[in-house]
Each structure stands twice: as C-alpha cells, then as structure tokens.
Amino acid sequence: MSAAELYATYKTKMQKIADVKYASAVLQWDQETYLPPKGNNFRGRQLATLSEIAHEQFTAEAMGDLLHELNSKENLSASQKKNVALSLEDYNRNKKLSSKFVRELSESVTTAYHAWAKARSENSFATFQQPLHHLIQLKKKEADLLGYEQHPYNALMNEYDKGLTVATVDNIFTNLKPQLVTLLEAIKNKPQVDNSFLHQHFDKDVQWKFGIELLKQIGFDFEAGRQDLSIHPFTTNFNNQDVRVTTRVDENDFGNMAWSCIHEGGHALYEQGLPTEEYGLPLSEYCSLSIHESQSRLWENCVGRGLPFWQHNFPLLKKMFPQQFEALTADTFYKSINKVQPSLIRTEADELTYHFHVMIRYEIEKMLIDGSITTKDIPAYWNQNYQKYLGVTVPDDKRGCLQDIHWSHGSFGYFATYSLGSIYGAQMYASIKKENITTEALLAAGDTKPVLDWLRKNVHQYGRLYTSEELCHKITGETLSSAYFIEYATKKFTDIYAS
Amino acid sequence: MSAAELYATYKTKMQKIADVKYASAVLQWDQETYLPPKGNNFRGRQLATLSEIAHEQFTAEAMGDLLHELNSKENLSASQKKNVALSLEDYNRNKKLSSKFVRELSESVTTAYHAWAKARSENSFATFQQPLHHLIQLKKKEADLLGYEQHPYNALMNEYDKGLTVATVDNIFTNLKPQLVTLLEAIKNKPQVDNSFLHQHFDKDVQWKFGIELLKQIGFDFEAGRQDLSIHPFTTNFNNQDVRVTTRVDENDFGNMAWSCIHEGGHALYEQGLPTEEYGLPLSEYCSLSIHESQSRLWENCVGRGLPFWQHNFPLLKKMFPQQFEALTADTFYKSINKVQPSLIRTEADELTYHFHVMIRYEIEKMLIDGSITTKDIPAYWNQNYQKYLGVTVPDDKRGCLQDIHWSHGSFGYFATYSLGSIYGAQMYASIKKENITTEALLAAGDTKPVLDWLRKNVHQYGRLYTSEELCHKITGETLSSAYFIEYATKKFTDIYAS
C-alpha cells in the first residue's frame, strides 16, 4: 500500500476509536447531569465496556504494525508524520496496559466513585478508604507497567502532561512557596477586604442568565456547545463542535457560579478552537492538562478577576442585581472578588492560597504512590498540612480530604497541573499584554476578542503538536517560570491591599 | 466447557453488546434533547460506529459457534434455553447483513434525517426525495438479504413484530375499515363536541408540572427515569432502571402535552417492568413493537381518555388552571378530549380517525417496498388518500407526507404496529375489566395500580418469551381481534355523541 493509502487506513481506524471514546464522554456527561439515581446501576459497566473496546482497538497488533510501517514512510506531510509519531507513542504506552487491566481500573473507579459519594454524604473518610486503597494499588501497578525513571509518580504525571516530572514540579513549588508566603504575610498585615455582599441572596435564574452572558462575552459558541448544571463544574467535549460546560449555582454565594462559568468557558474555548479537520487524530487533541488549565486560569483569573473586565461588566451585573450591589463600584467589587483568605475548600480558594491546596494534594499523591504513606494516613496528613500551610483547622473529612472528586476517578498525577496552569496562564497573559499593549483597555471596553485571537493563534490551533514546555518556549520566548505569576500576583494584590 | 460455563460466556458477550447498544441509545437521546446544532456534524458517524461495533460483535463467527453449541445443550434452565434460542434466531437474521451494509444504512439514515429536517423547514418534499429514495433502495436490499415469503414488506415488519405479515395486517384493516367508516358516519350526523377551551393559553411550567403528576400517578418511577423536552415525544431506555420519556408543550393547545405524557409513560412502564436480572439478554427485551404500542395506547386511550380517570384528575387539573376550566365538569372535559374530527396530523388525531392515518402510510410503504410506486409518487398518493379516507385537503408537504420522522429513520414496517397496538390494548383492557370489575371504580378514585399490576404480571415480566400472538392468546384467551376495539370505541363514542 502507498503511504497515502496507509494513512487513510490509519485515519479511519483512529476516527472510529475516537467515536467510541467520545461516546464514553457523552455517557459520562449524562452521568453528571441528568442520570436518574437507579440508572447508575448499569452505567458503570457500560462505560467500562466502551473503554475496553477503545483500548482493544487501539492496542491491536494490526494497529501497531500499521503505525510502525507508516512511521517509516517518507512521503507524508509534516502534520501527518506528527500524527503518526504521536499515535505510535500513545500505542506503545497503551500497549503496556492489558484490556483486562483497563477494565479492572474502570470498574475500580466506578466502585471508588460511589464509595466517595457515600463517604461524603456520611462525612466519613473510612467509607472511602478501602476502595481508594484498591484503586491506588492499581495506579501503582499502572506506573510500574508504564515504566518510569526516578519516581513512579512521574509515570502518572506523564499521562496528563508529557515529560512532566517530580523534579520539575518540586523545583517550581520550591521557588513558589516562599514567595507566596511573603506575599501572604504582607497581605495579612493590611486592612482586610470586605466581601460580605457576595453572600446575599442572588436569584438562581438571574445568576444563570448572567453566567450565559459571560460565556457569550468571552466567545463561547453556543451553536457548538451548551451549559448545564452539575454538582461539580466540568468541561467535556464530544468533538470540538460539541463542547459542554457545566456549572453550579448557590443562591447565597455569588462567587460560586460566575467564575466557574469563566473557568470552564476557558477550557471550552480551547476545545472549540482545536482543529476540526483532524477529528480523531492527535493534532485535534489538547497539548496537556497543564496547558488546558492555563486556558481556564487565564480567563478566570487574569481576565475574569481583573479590574478591566469588571469595568465593563459590573454595570451590567448591577442592572441584574441592583439591590445587592447598590453600594458598590466596579473598583470595590473588583477588590471583593479578590479577597485573600486561607480556607478549607480548594475550589473556593483565592488565587494565592490556591497553590497550597494543590501542593498538599501533590505531596500526598507522591507519597501514596511511592508507598511512604497509605490511605489510612491521609486524613491526619491532610489536616496537619492545612493547619501548617493555610492556618485552618479542618473540622471534618467532608471539608477535608473528601472534598475533591479526582481520587475517586483515579486521577492521580493531575493536581500539579492546576498550579502549573496558573503559572503558564500568567506567563501567556504577560505575552499577550506585551504584544498588544491595549489589551486591558479593550477588555475595559468589553472587547475580549484580542485575548481569544492570541490564544487561538498561539495555543489552540496547534493541538498536540508541541509539548507544554515546547509550546511555552515558542510562544512566550522562555521556558516556564513562576516569576510571571509572582510578578502578576504581587502587583495585583499589592494594589488591592494598598491601604 | 460445561453448559454453565458456556452460558456464562454467552451472557458476558451479550451484555457487552448491550452496553454498546445502550450507549448508542444515550447518544440518540442526547441528539433529540440537548445536542447543540453543530454537534450534529460528528454525531452521525459516532452512532454509525457504535452500530457497526455491536453488529460486528454479535455476528462474529465465534458468537455463532457458541450459540450453536449452547443450543444443543440439554442441561440449561427453560429461560436460559429460551434466551439462547432467541439469540440464535437474532444471530441468523443479523448474519444476513454485513457490517458494511449496516454502516451504510446507518449513514444513509443520518443523511435522510437531516434532509427530512431541512425539507420540513423548507416545506418541500423535493429536498427529502432523493435521500429517501436511497434509503428505500437499502431497505429493499435489506428485505432481500433477510429473505421473506410472499411479500418483501414481510421481512421488514418482522423486525418490529416477529411473524407479522401483510396478510395479517391486510385482514385486520379490511375488517376494521368499514366498521370505522360506519361509526364515523354516525358521529358525523350528531351534534359536534366543543373542545375550543383546550386552545386557550396554558402556562408551560404548570403544564409540565401536571405532566409529571400524571406520570407519577400511573406509576412511572422517577428514580429509574426522567422526562425531558424534545420536538418529537419518544421513550428510550439505557437499561430498565434508566427509562427516559420526552414530551413537548404547546402553550396554546392543552391536548399536546398531557396525553403524550401518558402515552410515553405507558411505553416507559413497560420498560421499567422488564426483568432487570436479564440485562442484555432477550428475555429482558420487549415482546414486539405492537405490544409496546399496546401499553402506550392502553394507558393513553383506555385509561387516559376515559371518564373514570378524569373523574379523579379533572378536579386536580382545575386547581392548576382554574380560569381556563371554570365552566367545565369532568364530564364535559371528558367529551372535549375525545372529540372526533378527521384531521391532517397523525399525532393529533382522535382514537378513531387515527387508524386511517396509519392505513395510508402502511399502503404507501408496502408499495414503495414492492416497487409499485417510487418516492416521487408519495405526495400525490398521500394527498389523494387523505382526501378519500379523511375528507381533508392537504395544504402542503409539511402537514402532509413530511409530518412523520419514521421514514427518515429508515423505520419501514413500523406503522402498522400503531394500529395493532390500539387493538391489542383494547383487547387487554377488556380482560383487565373482566378480571377486576372494580377497575374503573378504582380509576375514578385515583387508583391506577390494579391496571399496572395486571400489565406487570401478564405482559411486562415475560419480556420476549412469547410472540405478540402467543402472548395475546395466553393472557386474553383469544388471538388478536379488532372486535374488542370496535366494541370499546362504539360504546365510548356512542355515549359521547349520544345527544
């Protein structure tokens, strides 16, 4: 067969596998949004079967032969070569996991998820411990099967951000931590910001309408996506013309929904901006979860918690909630939404203390995977470190180590990408402002397009063409550096806590 | 391998295939309820891939060998034997269609569906004609591949109701038609019923609430299902603990939603009543589409358009819409919702003229499949027969031959089951009342449980154990006879049109 024919075969196979994976994503989306309670009884096995099929098809010997043969062909375009090389890389990695193992993992996740939900409702980590322990054993096995250098956790982080290592993350966190501590100390000694008016009553429907307006404003295409409600906000997609975000609304906390819309909207803009014509192929996929998170954080924090954005939007918001915001100006509103306050819940944390939430989880995961601790040690370690780094006393497991869904999903190696995302986001935002000095003036006039255009051109269009580090260097001229985040945060919070 | 081991293997395989089929159902449900417009671009291929996988797995040689071997084993239980025999029957039928053909069909359906939607919005059959023609060629090929005696349409009807033939349906319709004509003539000469108050303004949310109440009342389990909005009401399920109905609401037509809720609710009760422990196996499946329709029609018409049901529910309804129903009693309301009026739209037709809508489509399908007419003849044939049987002039294609979704789905052979469903339903309802003479007194007191209990015991629990005809004979003591429907309808409409 000619290279062109082989490539066509490869493309057909990959697209069929994508169909199965995206079907899974539809079932997962439904599970989090509309599934009736008893529907869960069979949903787990349906998802496991789809995972198994996708895995079997992708790791079939014939697929390996095809990829090897294609990889040796010269007369393919550069992007075709890249697709093949990335698929071969994925193939070699996936091949290390048997279908049986993948199914076992999928079923263990279903069990762990239900145990976690039960544990949360009972407010008792004990209910979750054993299923989590089982899942971690499988993740350790996964790390062994995948192989690694230096630390088993590297194998798991690599799944979310190719090439990411404990050494890199430790280094970033080691730099970041003392600077954050200094900044927080300075803030602590200033008069505190009042954000009590965010905790008035805000009608659910009006909040929802405002959230939709924010999504439209940042460029979310509602012809190619939608927003629904779920307990935990998330973004998923079934191809880049069907990208779904979810949010939650708290009538007594204005901060709960608006920034979750912008955050998930940032993820969704990335998905909507990936190349359509590469459906099912690596170049249609996102670069890494760190870069994915850079998109959500950049929109949520750099844009969505910035003064210029609210210079435009606060008057709109005030029209929707005239009574609640009567006494505020854009400036006082801006300050209130950036209040720094060490707290128990990661998803409600401010931009600064957020990183400590991530660091604590990162340390726990590393130790669970290398065996320094076991699941029964989690609550104590968690509570001690919340006291140590955030100065807060964890009153119970629900507001402690049971708060996040990730472990119940088996997503070990994921958390660090949250902090890296903020750091990448700040570095990109600095580039955006440098390349277009009117960026924030335009934001203040309600024009977010230049920001989206820059991201479309510099991030979205490339899909998986580069690794996080390569992309970062290409588009910002430097490797990842927490200096930009620290510079951004110092300027912002010094201004806010000036008086 | 022992029979038990072989059976376990069979069950595992069947359940995995069910997982894939039910995943398709989730994607289809989503397509009709929440899919954003551009999401359609890839949804068709995702559905085609899942169909192909399910078909490939079910028609694999290994599956055939397994089924043949199991079928020869003695030491299986009666229900195990029945599962195997039915699966073998399905296997032999499916085996006649190649995966390539199944995919071609699935893709042709997607094309036809979009062409139909476009044709409807343009109000022009011409847009739909060519894709429909292509689809019909494939259905004719399907009939040839499946094989048949006497008429190719038998092969297609057999897919929806095992053993159903043109001879049977022709016979039923030949009996039914003159009796309906006589009944309609009698009604025509009586003072007509006023139903104008059903066309006042009815708040959407209040209607929705009332629909939910009706579903609860007939026994729909909201822990194992839900209701959503869609353009065309339908019922689907992803296992019998996750059964979903949809409805539509017209603020200017009270009749649009309430009976669609009861109708789909009747389908849903059947699915919720099928045996859970047989997940993925034939005995967990419904008997036939005729029997499925008997459940929806029995609830919608015999119960839901009956006087006893509204003796209980009209007071509730009046509380929800006090102004609109001020001048009415349960009795006048009952009459109004049973107004007989030949009309253009099948889904809005009364119980009597409904059958003519079905007969016309049935005749068209038969002729399209045996080649007596081609797609270009449809509008003329349609319009002539609506004039002839219903006395109505079809003003345009949208209200004529483009009104139903079925052909765009490739569902040829389906329509007759609608009439058969009514006839089976009336026959069952006669048995219910005979076995429990207090049935209607209980309905008037708001107690629908005896009806559901009878259906659970006599219909639902058996799954696919019997054919429609076998089941009918077993539970009513007779084969299918339109006499029960005619008796029921004559009594009902003679009373309504008494004065």
Query: Does A239 contact chain B (CB < 8 Å)?
Result: yes
Q: Kindly state the helix (H) or strand (E) to which residue A225 belongs, with its residue range.
A: strand A225-229
Are A299 and A248 in contact by the 8 Å Cβ rule? The answer is no
Distance between CA atoms of residues B435 and B475, nearest Å: 11
Query: Does A254 contact chain B (CB < 8 Å)?
Result: no
N-terminal to C-terminal alpha carbon distance within chain A: 73
> A89 and A220 share a domain?
no
Query: Does A277 contact chain B (CB < 8 Å)?
Result: no
CB pairs under 8 A between A and B: 112
For residue B410, tell me if it sits in a domain.
yes
Nearest to B346 by CA among B454, B263, B228: B263
- The tokens of A334 are what? 């801006």
Among the listed residues B142, B264, B271, B293, the single catalytic one is B264
Residue A50 pLDDT > 90? yes
Check residue A426 and give its pLDDT.
98
Query: Does A191 contact chain B (CB < 8 Å)?
Result: no
**Between B110 and A216, residue with greater pLDDT:** A216
For residue A228, tell me if it sits in a domain.
yes
For residue A138, tell me if it sits in a domain.
no
> B22 and B139 share a domain?
yes
Residue A106 pLDDT > 90? no
> B61 and B7 share a domain?
yes
Distance between CA atoms of residues B86 and B164, nearest Å: 17
Check residue B386 and give its pLDDT.
97
Q: What is the pLDDT of residues B107-139, one digit of tens each?
A: 899 899 989 999 999 999 999 999 999 999 999
Instruction: For residue A232, name the pLDDT band (cuts at 50, 70, 90).
Output: confident
Distance between CA atoms of residues B313 and B211, nearest Å: 12
- Please indicate whether, in this complex, the C-beta atoms of A23 and B50 are within 8 angstroms of each other: yes
Distance between CA atoms of residues A29 and A243, nearest Å: 11
Residue A1 pLDDT > 70? yes
- Please indicate whether, in this complex, the C-beta atoms of B22 and A53 are within 8 angstroms of each other: no
Q: Give the whole-number percent of chain A exceeding pLDDT 90.
A: 95
> B23 and B98 share a domain?
yes
Average pLDDT over residues A276-283: 94
B264 tagged catalytic: yes
Distance between CA atoms of residues B284 and B271, nearest Å: 9
No. of helices (H) and no. of strands (E), chain B: 20, 3
Q: For B114, which DSSP code?
A: H
Q: What is the pLDDT of residues B338-382, one digit of tens each?
A: 999 999 999 889 999 999 999 999 999 999 999 999 999 999 999
Mean pLDDT of chain A: 96
- Please indicate whether, in this complex, the C-beta atoms of A224 and B38 are within 8 angstroms of each other: yes
Average pLDDT over residues B413-440: 98
Average pLDDT over residues B399-415: 96
Nearest to B196 by CA among B119, B252, B246: B252
> A176 and A316 share a domain?
yes
Q: Which chain B residues are within 8 Å of A42, Cβ to Cβ? A: 22, 238-239, 241-242, 279
For residue A134, tell me if it sits in a domain.
no
> A319 and A438 share a domain?
yes
How far from A377 is each of A125, A346, A367, A374, A382, CA to CA, in Å?
Answer: 11, 20, 10, 6, 9
Check residue B499 and give its pLDDT.
65
Q: What is the pLDDT of residues A9-33, one digit of tens each?
A: 999 999 999 999 999 999 999 999 9
Residue of chain A nearest B42, judged by CA positions: A239
Which of A95, A123, A145 is where one domain is finished? A95
Distance between CA atoms of residues A357 and A233, nearest Å: 18
> B142 and B171 share a domain?
no
CA B86 to chain centre: 22
Containing structural domain, residue A318: 166-496
Instruction: For residue B495, name the pLDDT band (cuts at 50, 70, 90).
Output: very high
> B209 and B281 share a domain?
yes
Q: What is the ipTM of this complex?
A: 0.92
Q: What is the pLDDT of residues A317-363, one digit of tens each?
A: 999 999 999 999 999 999 999 999 999 999 889 999 999 999 999 99
Average pLDDT over residues A42-65: 94
How far from A387 is each of A382, A402, B46, CA to CA, in Å?
Answer: 9, 17, 49
- Please indicate whether, in this complex, the C-beta atoms of A36 and B222 are within 8 angstroms of each other: yes
* Residues whose CB is less than 8 angstroms from the CB of residue B491 and which lie 6 or more positions away in sequence, other chains included: none
* Residues whose CB is less than 8 angstroms from the CB of residue A296 and which lie 6 or more positions away in sequence, other chains included: A235, A263, A264, A265, A266, A267, A421, A425
> B216 and B125 share a domain?
no
Average pLDDT over residues B297-313: 98
What's the 3-state SS for A137-204?
A: HHHHHHHHHHCCCCCHHHHHHHHHCCCCCHHHHHHHHHHHHHHHHHHHHHHHCCCCCCCHHHHCCCCH
> A175 and A91 share a domain?
no
Residue A499 pLDDT > 70? no
CATH code (residue A251): 1.10.1370.30
For residue B198, tell me if it sits in a domain.
yes
Q: Give the whole-number percent of chain B exceeding pLDDT 90.
A: 95
> A74 and A198 share a domain?
no
Residue of chain A nearest B49, judged by CA positions: A16
Average pLDDT over residues A93-122: 92
Check residue A246 and give its pLDDT.
98
What global pTM score does this model have? Answer: 0.93
Long-range pairs, A442-446, Cβ under 8 A, ≥24 = A443/A303, A443/A306, A443/A308, A443/A309, A443/A311, A443/A312, A444/A307, A444/A308, A444/A309, A444/A311, A444/A312, A445/A312, A446/A217, A446/A312, A446/A313
For residue B155, tell me if it sits in a domain.
no
Backbone φ and ψ of A50, nearest 5°: -65, -40
* Residues whose CB is less than 8 angstroms from the CB of residue B437 and which lie 6 or more positions away in sequence, other chains included: none
Mean pLDDT of chain B: 96
- Which among B19, B48, B223 has the least Cβ separation from residue A45? B19
Residue A391 pLDDT > 90? yes
> B387 and B492 share a domain?
yes
For residue B160, tell me if it sits in a domain.
no
Residues making up chain B, counted from first to last: 499
For residue B159, tell me if it sits in a domain.
no
Residue B41 pLDDT > 90? no
Check residue A110 and give its pLDDT.
86
Q: For B298, which DSSP code?
A: I
Check residue A261 and give its pLDDT.
98
* CA–CA–CA angle B469, B242, A268 (5° rounding): 135
Check residue B40 and give its pLDDT.
87
How many folded domains does chain A comprise?
2
In DSSP terms, which residues pair with B246 in a beta bridge? B228
Query: Does A499 contact chain B (CB < 8 Å)?
Result: no
- Please indicate whether, in this complex, the C-beta atoms of B23 and A27 are within 8 angstroms of each other: yes
N-terminal to C-terminal alpha carbon distance within chain B: 73
